[in-house]
Amino acid sequence: MNEQTPAGNFDEMDSVCIRFAGDSGDGMQLTGTQFSVVTALEGSDLSTFPDFPAEIRAPVGTTFGVSAFQINFGSVEVSTAGDEPDVLVAMNPAALKVSLAGLKEGGIIILDEGAFNKRNLDKAGYDSNPLEDNTLDGYQVQKLDITKMTLESVKEFGLGKKDALRSKNMWTLGLVLWMFGRDRKPITDWLEQKFKKIPDVAKANIAAVNAGHAYGETVEVSGELRRYSIGKHEVEEAGEYRTVNGNQALAWGLVAGSQLGDISLMLGSYPITPASTLLHTLSGLKEFGVMTFQAEDEIAAICGAIGASFAGNLGVTSSSGPGIALKTEAIGLAISTELPLIVVDVQRAGPSTGLPTKTEQSDLFQAVWGRNGDSSIVVLATSNPQDCFDVGIEAVRIATKYMTPVMVLSDGYIGNASEPWKLPDINKLEKFPVKHHTDTEDFHPFKRDPETLARPWVKPGTPGLLHRIGGIEKDYDSGHISYDPKNHQLMTDTRAEKIANIANDMPEQSVSLGTEGGKLAVVGWGSTRGAIHQAVKRARAENIDVSHIHIGNIWPLPRNLERLLKSYDKVIVAEMNKGQMNKLLRAEYLLDAYSLTKVTGQPFKITEILDCIREQAGDAS
Amino acid sequence: MNEQTPAGNFDEMDSVCIRFAGDSGDGMQLTGTQFSVVTALEGSDLSTFPDFPAEIRAPVGTTFGVSAFQINFGSVEVSTAGDEPDVLVAMNPAALKVSLAGLKEGGIIILDEGAFNKRNLDKAGYDSNPLEDNTLDGYQVQKLDITKMTLESVKEFGLGKKDALRSKNMWTLGLVLWMFGRDRKPITDWLEQKFKKIPDVAKANIAAVNAGHAYGETVEVSGELRRYSIGKHEVEEAGEYRTVNGNQALAWGLVAGSQLGDISLMLGSYPITPASTLLHTLSGLKEFGVMTFQAEDEIAAICGAIGASFAGNLGVTSSSGPGIALKTEAIGLAISTELPLIVVDVQRAGPSTGLPTKTEQSDLFQAVWGRNGDSSIVVLATSNPQDCFDVGIEAVRIATKYMTPVMVLSDGYIGNASEPWKLPDINKLEKFPVKHHTDTEDFHPFKRDPETLARPWVKPGTPGLLHRIGGIEKDYDSGHISYDPKNHQLMTDTRAEKIANIANDMPEQSVSLGTEGGKLAVVGWGSTRGAIHQAVKRARAENIDVSHIHIGNIWPLPRNLERLLKSYDKVIVAEMNKGQMNKLLRAEYLLDAYSLTKVTGQPFKITEILDCIREQAGDAS
Amino acid sequence: MNEQTDVKKLTFKDFETDQEVRWCPGCGDYAILKSVQMTLANIGATPENTVFVSGIGCSSRFPYYVETYGFHTIHGRAPAVATGVKLANPDLDVWLVTGDGDGLSIGGNHMLHVLRRNVDMQIMLFNNEIYGLTKGQYSPTSKPGSKTPSTPMGSVDLPLSPCSFALGAGARFVARGIDTALKALPITLERAKDHKGASFVEIFQNCIVFNDGTFDQFTQKKTAANSQIHAVHGERMIFGKEKDKGLVFNLEKFALEIVTIGENGVKEDDILVHDETNKMMAHMLVELTAPDFPVVCGVIYCNPEESYNDAVHNQMNAAKSAKKADFNALIRQGRTWIVD
Amino acid sequence: MNEQTDVKKLTFKDFETDQEVRWCPGCGDYAILKSVQMTLANIGATPENTVFVSGIGCSSRFPYYVETYGFHTIHGRAPAVATGVKLANPDLDVWLVTGDGDGLSIGGNHMLHVLRRNVDMQIMLFNNEIYGLTKGQYSPTSKPGSKTPSTPMGSVDLPLSPCSFALGAGARFVARGIDTALKALPITLERAKDHKGASFVEIFQNCIVFNDGTFDQFTQKKTAANSQIHAVHGERMIFGKEKDKGLVFNLEKFALEIVTIGENGVKEDDILVHDETNKMMAHMLVELTAPDFPVVCGVIYCNPEESYNDAVHNQMNAAKSAKKADFNALIRQGRTWIVD
Ligand SMILES: Cc1ncc(C[n+]2csc(CCOP(=O)(O)OP(=O)(O)O)c2C)c(N)n1
Ligand SMILES: Cc1ncc(C[n+]2csc(CCOP(=O)(O)OP(=O)(O)O)c2C)c(N)n1
Ligand code: SF4
Ligand code: SF4
Ligand SMILES: [Mg+2]
Ligand SMILES: [Mg+2]
């Protein structure tokens, strides 16, 4: 900790949730991200939730143009971005309107009074000014003319009004830093770096941060605005940490996998929200031998990846629901030719275009079952940013060892949310060097490894192993085209068996929290992990006999999962769709679970799960 | 019956199965089809199974170039193309080689000795001549030099040798007609019609038919080759009949639906085996207001159909597995915009290109679950050619009444197989005239009918109802774009509910054969219907307590299905895939059934199902 | 289709919807929207007989803002959907809105075939040389070396010329316009509307957020006269502030070149006359690029052929007059038998 | 890539596989296969460094019959798969085989973009103006009025000209050949192979079963001399049995026309010299159609640019020499903190 650590009159709190909300142009994502960084640097646990509109820049002042960033941080383990913000920062009437309903009763509202003019009130659809009627009764409201104070603070740098107003978010950030006794230096350093080439802008922004901070320090709000102190989170493991979001971590995991597997990675992709940043990240890592191919569409993207895999590299392709749908036919080709391939689906709310910037877990069916023919692939789900890294590596390992497509399911929430991550040392991770087949003796392109059932992976260019493959059914021995009925049965069975067997090469299902066996278990997968974890933790604190089972390997399912699930009297399956994992578990294990679902484009709240646990525990007992 | 009815020494049989097998160029499909027609005209029940290679014309004489046509006909109800042929007609060594294994023990083989030369034997991969070794021991073999006799019979017409040899199949047909005491006139009429413009060819072919027939009549084979008499099938219903194959019947069903619904039909399609003939049939029905659009690909095909539905016509699109996969994203658009749409999937063996000319039922998962987002549609399955007609009408009714995509699952077997069909009178079928919305009062594009939950269907061009729709989530009331979380939940729930409710507008599940409740039931769907029916019939004749349940409405499932299935001690689910319907029933009803599967690209044999019934009945008792 | 008593002529305002327009402030799309609304008013469009179809992208939000029927479809597929609309109801006037990503990247195949088939509709391709909606990745029309989030070291693909592509696809009407050209664009759009068949109009559109100024070289007011030619059928290809520059065909080089009237003995009569029905001329004109050449706007090629929808409906009508639609007779064709 | 001691030169027979060839007897594909195998022998191809990639269709069965590496992919997607192959391993010599349906109908978009990007490979489009494998439906190149199973009253679409499309897509090498031209085709294919970048070769291929004789007008031996021109860079565009006909550019009509040497004062020197680097000339040549004009075969356009794969690898190499690939350092960039 450094010298600026708060010494004054702080209320100690375990954790706090703040929501920054403003117009798309107000820079709320930046403010939130920077606040997260400072918070992380000071050792709090944290979880973030960027929540922005589909429009690039919707018209100023409208409710659908509101962009928000929520951060939950604490000295205790946080695992979600928080159910209900304790503090709401609202830069205009629309932001207030959209966010108020979610705010904790009695919570703090900091708002820019200067933005509550007639025009903005009209745009937000307020008939009367909420600052003047009783809309805000029951909250601790701080009306500050942030607009005016910002202009004042940057006056000396001679920026135009439009540019000067760009610093409003920094003024606000300064105030919030003050509230939580956080260090300003990382922010001012960052501003200096970012605006190195336009020093006036750097200075103006720094001045705004300082002015906001100073405002807190002055008498003007003392007594009204309290300060909070959130201690360090006593993380179990010592080491070096950073914050990372899911798409970044997944990109790095894939690269780490390619390093551990000693295989070049080729990403074929086509931009789509919320998967694009995976393409962006990987396109900047050419020095790692990572090649990126922005294709003309999703089909070309996956086909390029399949071509790369045929040529001996590891093909990867990334998209979101509608784009994954387009890849369906080509995934079949990779299944039939048994080539390694990684397909990343950063899920968003559907069906069709749906809600591109909102999160959902509704592509599970598509991942496991959504193809013509009997066509199993491996499906892995990521659950949070740091898990993305591990899943990235595992996907590379499995795809190359078993010559199979692997689908990685992430979602918009994981993809965008940041969390602290203990940095691994790549030299200490287990290597799994891929060996292309070179032995010409008794070679057949479909002669399988008796253990993994994988066929040999031959790099074209290798002498003596010339062969031709394709999507037509192949003879089990020679790999030649075969229309033989018995052979088709054998190949179909073998393809399914190969995938099913991979369960033996994956860890058994563990219990995340609680006990093996008992009255009640909550089963989840993907990004609901944090919320379920917290809910189960709280329920256990209430002496409810409930455990948390988080499924990461969706297909094949863990080999002990059936036994484990049946060791509870009752199971809740919680997910952000209409009950797809529940159906999968019913189909596989005839498991009669309670299906808790939510399809609003928003993550679960802890209390939503906790309420369900209480109810079902009551029923179960 | 006409004068040529056999009077001689006939063995009476209930049913006979003949397989015509020859080179792709030998005209076996034609021979089989013509024999079917005559058989049908004489009142036998029948079922056919064309079985041909993926190549247009594979090299002459090779095993993979063998084209076969199987026909099962009888005075009793036939419902499959037969497990094991009683009679095999083999035009060359390759045809013999490929078909011999399937022939009934002691069955009759008629072969063209003239084709068993060294070159053909080599091509077929025979090391020694099967006519000379003991390969054919245990069969009744008729070696005839059909080649020579055909040339002889057409000599007088002065055709070149190549053309003259084209009549070999007609010579063979003549012989077979004689064997079963069938009338030659429909064949000779047809030949005269077909070759009206080249009378010499017509005459030569007729001469060949007559020569083959005469050959039977002469002493040369008497005593060796027996003749069989198959009586008329006592069909329950009087009326006018014809033979029809599944794709033809489905095309006609869709047209009938468009007539009953008084709505113009627009098919957007892209050729693919085995669905293309649906496009071909519909493209010839322009006088019925049926428009066909051969699109640049499957995506354009479905999008064209969606555009037509938006414009107020009924859009239909047809394909097979890989093509349906490509339509996945666009189906989502039809779901989201709630437009009527019919998607026909004539399934073939997968995954990927698979076995294009072979049959399979492995697209069930894709149909029910294979899309991004929570996205239910209606799924209907056809089970035989005549059912195709009814399902076509029902698909039109449901799509237009509920403003929803309807997927129709057929398969390559149904699509190509012919069966007798009692011709309906369209004037007696129930009409369901579609009414486009025209009322401007209180109009919203997503205001639903309270009963069906369908939104209004407005034809652009209608004044006062201007509106815009799209694939982004829409407000429940106004239909405007909405990112509201609660609204997304409501819309997702409503879309699912709309589809689920359709079960109330569909018949309850009936028992096809047997009793409601009991020891054992065999559940099937699609083209396995005939084989299961026969197997259950035989098992019941053996006093096994088993019933047959054939599911036609796949999604939503019939509302009484769970109750019905649970009224049996044990259930077998038989299907031509790795157990997809079984998984669906497990997921829906927690039904613990026995899964009988077959994935060879070939239809079930009756005995395969019967064996399973016997085994499971033993277990069940 | 319904009769409309022409009591009052609609103005462009009548083609505005109640929806708030959601583009970035300063986006070129606003001006195009205005031009289109003006065109609709000018041509006396009937709102209910007009349909706007679009794909996905910033530009593809267009239908929400035009008071007609509208369908905001999925990425790249608008030409196929619009084909279905036009085939099903040929009386509708169909307008297609797409972007350089929507129409030429994912939707390239459908664009190719709607042009080849010559389906009667107006296709407006908003070319901003970038993927706007997904935040600025390079597109198939982006300049080589474009640094974008997905090409941090600069793009290496060779860009596509939309009009060159359209001509290669067999388009029978090819034109160009500029977003802010509120006078010229409606005239070009009116020509597009008059053309029966697929009319392809590339509109240079400035994306102020992700690709600001990419067309400045020839769209800026001060340089426009020297860097643009507005092609008019039958008129000489003359340009320049002083109207002293022109295009001629140099047989030696087998290429167009710029000459100055009055220099080297060049007379006005030597300048090439624009023939919009000549495809070879069109090929040459669309390939002229700034800064070496002026960019050609207006109607570059217009050479009508029967439209696909007309041909389809003519066949339908021929079939209908040749055969009676008797369903019972249809299924009884061929051999049937009676069981009694 | 592996060194190969050139002990014995391979012959075309060495490029035959053990698979039985499964086309219809008399299909034009046989002759093309032979030409390709001869070309491979002529250029001294190393089998293991050669890859044939195809889509789906009769023509796309090709890879099974060439003794090299091969990938029979899915319908229409071969250009995308081949792009992946070439990017992953630029040392491989990639040949793409596709049909008019595979490459221009369902695969039109990938064809467009592989040409635009200029990925180094030889693209052979077997144009038989029909869908062979699915039994004879019309294709985007079928002649108007084609009666096929899906167009019983005749097709009404306007057909696409593959080479015109390729030029519009930005192809830098465009050529034509005829299936049975066993002498000319290998020469053209060799040129295609020499060209670094995407080489597009349209091959007129007779489908004896579903579209027999569709190219007879200019491929028949007896009329060939009067109905074909074999374009050679730097040579005059002269044709005809008597070598007395030629092409000239008529400035008035702004179009090519046929003249006869010796008539109306036309001299051999007046005839146009083929310049394969001139795109405008290429445009004109590819649009000449029988019977009014001779059909131009051989290399029509060849104007190299850096290939996409080279550009991509140059960037990769630049990045590698500029930065060390230190994974631990990568993830530690930016702000980190220590917990102890
Ligand atoms: C199937 C699918 N793939 C990708 C996307 C993401 N996406 C939406 S718009 C767009 C590109 C937009 O570019 P352009 O067409 O040029 O339109 P602009 O936004 O520039 O107007 C992309 C890649 C999508 N919505 N659907
Ligand atoms: C996704 C998909 N759609 C359709 C088909 C069916 N199909 C196979 S080949 C073909 C067209 C073949 O035509 P072309 O490319 O011209 O090749 P040709 O057979 O004429 O050589 C079609 C439509 C398929 N296999 N896959
Ligand atoms: S991102 Fe660009 S194209 Fe999209 S609305 Fe903004 S300025 Fe316009
Ligand atoms: S159908 Fe035509 S293209 Fe196909 S193999 Fe036969 S002749 Fe050749
Ligand atoms: Mg764009
Ligand atoms: Mg073809």
C62 Cβ neighbours under 8 A, 6+ residues apart: C29, C33, C36, C52, C54, C97
Instruction: Give just the sign of the alpha carbon dihedral B157, B161, B162, B167.
Output: positive
Give the pLDDT confidence score for residue A231 in this predicted structure: 81
Q: Of the candidates C95, C85, C113, which has an alpha carbon nearest to the alpha carbon of residue C59?
A: C95
DSSP H helical ranges for B84-198: 93-99, 118-124, 146-154, 161-165, 168-179, 185-194
Give the per-residue pLDDT at A142: 87
**B234 — pLDDT class (breaks 50, 70, 90):** confident
Decide if C165 and D169 are in contact by the 8 Å CB cutoff.
yes
The burial class, CB within 10 Å (0-12 / 13-18 / 19+), for B542 is: exposed
Residues 164-193 of C with CB under 8 A from B: none
What pLDDT is stored for residue B158 in this prediction?
84
3-state SS, A48-88, equals EEEECCCCCCCCCCCHHHEEEEEEEEECCCCCCCCCCCCEE
Give the length of chain D.
Answer: 340
Instruction: Decide: residue C303, CB within 10 A, 0-12 exposed, 13-18 middle, 19+ buried.
Output: middle
Which positions 75-94 of C are in contact with B (Cβ < 8 Å)? 77, 79-89, 91-92
Q: What is the 3-state secondary structure (H, E, C) of B489-541?
A: HHHHHHHHHHHHHHHHHCCCCCCCECCCCEEEEEEEEHHHHHHHHHHHHHHHH
> Which chain D residue has its CA at the smallest distance from A235's CA?
D339
pLDDT higher at C30 or B157:
C30
Give tens-digit pLDDT for B566-593.
999 999 999 999 999 999 999 999 999 9
Query: What's the CA angle centered on B408, arms B405 and B414, to 5 degrees?
Result: 170
DSSP assignment of B547-563, as one string?
A: EEEEE-EEESPPTTHHH
C203/C212 Cα distance (integer angstroms): 15
CB contact (8 A) between residue A468 and residue D71:
yes
Closest CB to D339 among A43, A301, A470 = A43
How much is the ipTM here? 0.94
Tell me if B31 sits within 8 A of B169, measured CB to CB.
Answer: yes
E strand segments, A75-190: 87-90, 108-112, 140-144
pLDDT at A10: 74
* D84–A310 CB contact, under 8 Å: yes
Within a domain: residue D35? yes
As a residue count, chain C comes to 340
C151/A contact by beta carbon, under 8 A: yes
- Residues in chain A with pLDDT values less than 70: 1-9, 219-224, 236, 620-621
Pairing of strands B341-347, B291-294: unpaired
CB B573 within 8 A of CB B596: yes
Question: What are C's interface residues with D at a Cβ cutoff of 8 A?
Answer: 105-109, 112-113, 116-118, 140, 153-154, 156-161, 164-170, 249, 251, 254-255, 275, 278-281, 283-284, 287, 305, 308, 311-312, 315, 318-319
Rg over alpha carbons for chain B, rounded to the nearest Å, is: 27
How big is the CA angle at B244 (ends B239 and B245), to the nearest 5 degrees? 150
**Collapsing DSSP states into helix, strand and coil, what is residue C229?**
strand
State what percent of residues in chain B have pLDDT above 70. Answer: 97
Take residue D98 and report the two structure tokens written for it: 């596709």
Instruction: Out of A517-521, B26-30, B609-613, C261-265, pick the least confident.
Output: B26-30
Residue D274 inside a domain? The answer is: no
User: Nearest residue on chain C to D274, judged by CA atoms?
Assistant: C254
Give the B window 287-316 contacts with D, CB below 8 Å.
292, 294, 296-298
Quick one: C6 exposed, middle or buried, by C-beta within 10 A (0-12, 13-18, 19+)?
A: exposed
**Cα B463 to Cα C50: distance, rounded to the nearest angstrom:** 11
pLDDT per residue over B370-383, tens digit each?
999 999 999 999 99
Could you tell me if A491 and A542 are in contact, meaning their C-beta atoms sit under 8 angstroms apart?
no
Residue C155, domain member (yes or no): yes
Confidence at residue A510, expressed as pLDDT on a 0 to 100 scale: 98
Selected for mutation to probe chain A from C98, C112, C134, C206 (highest A CB count within 10 Å) is C134
Query: What string of DSSP letters covers B415-443?
Result: HH-EEEEEPP-GGGSPP---------TT-
> pLDDT over 90 for what percent of chain B?
76
CA of D61 to the centre of ligand 6 (A): 12
| pLDDT for the residue numbered B106 | 85
Q: What is the pairing mode between strands B568-575 and B553-555?
A: unpaired
Residue C126 lies in a domain: yes
Nearest CA of chain B to the CA of C305: how many Å? Answer: 19
Do B542 and B520 touch, CB atoms closer than 8 A? no
Pairing of strands B405-411, B518-525: unpaired
CA distances (Å), origin D119, targets A303, D78, D80, D113, D207? 15, 13, 10, 9, 29
Instruction: Kindly state whether residue C56 falls inside one of the protein's structural domains.
Output: yes
**Is residue D255 classed as helix, strand or coil in its secondary structure?**
strand
Angle between helix axes B28-41 and B168-179 (nearest 10 degrees) is: 30
Kindly state whether residue C207 falls inside one of the protein's structural domains: yes
How many CB atoms neighbour CB C23 within 10 A?
24
Position C6 confidence tier, pLDDT thresholds 50, 70, 90: low
Which mutation among D20, D102, D210 tests ligand 4's pocket best, with the greatest number of atoms within 8 A of CB?
D210
Domain, as residue range, for C55 = 12-214+306-313
In a domain, C145, yes or no: yes
- For residue D2, what pLDDT is reported? 47
pLDDT of residue A220: 57
Indicate which of B34, B263, B310, B419 best probes the interface with C, i.e. most C CBs within 10 Å of its own CB. B310
Question: What are the residue ranges of helices labelled H in B155-297?
Answer: 161-165, 168-179, 185-194, 199-217, 246-261, 276-283
* b (16+ CB within 10 A) / e for D168-181: bbbbbbbbbbbbbb
The angle that helices A276-283 and A246-260 make with each other, rounded to 10 degrees, is 50
pLDDT confidence of residue A179: 87
Does B552 have pLDDT greater than 80?
yes
Amino acid C7: pLDDT: 57
Q: What is the pLDDT of residue B56?
A: 74
Number of domains into which chain D is organized: 1
Give the chains touching B; criterion: ≥3 Cβ pairs < 8 Å. A, C, D
Q: Indicate which CATH number applies to the domain containing C41.
A: 3.40.50.970
The Cα-based distances of C78 to B264, C60, C70, C110 in angstroms read 22, 9, 11, 8
Q: Which portions of chain D are predicted below pLDDT 70? A: 1-7
Check CB contact of A250 with chain D, cutoff 8 Å.
Answer: no
Q: Which amino acid is at B519?
A: K
Spatial distance between the Cα atoms of B518 and B304, rounded to a whole number of angstroms: 49
Query: Could you tell me which residues are beta bridge partners of residue A176?
Result: none
**Total-model pTM:** 0.94
Q: What is the pLDDT of residue B2?
A: 35
Alpha carbon of B58: minimum distance to chain D alpha carbons (Å): 5
Q: What distance in Å separates the CA atoms of residue A75 and residue A13, rounded to the nearest whole number?
A: 8
Q: What is the pLDDT of residue A41?
A: 86
Q: Which of A536, A602, A610, A608 is nearest to A70 (CA)?
A: A602
Question: Residue B510: what pLDDT?
Answer: 98
Instruction: Kindly state the helix (H) or strand (E) to which residue C203 belongs, with its residue range.
Output: strand C198-204
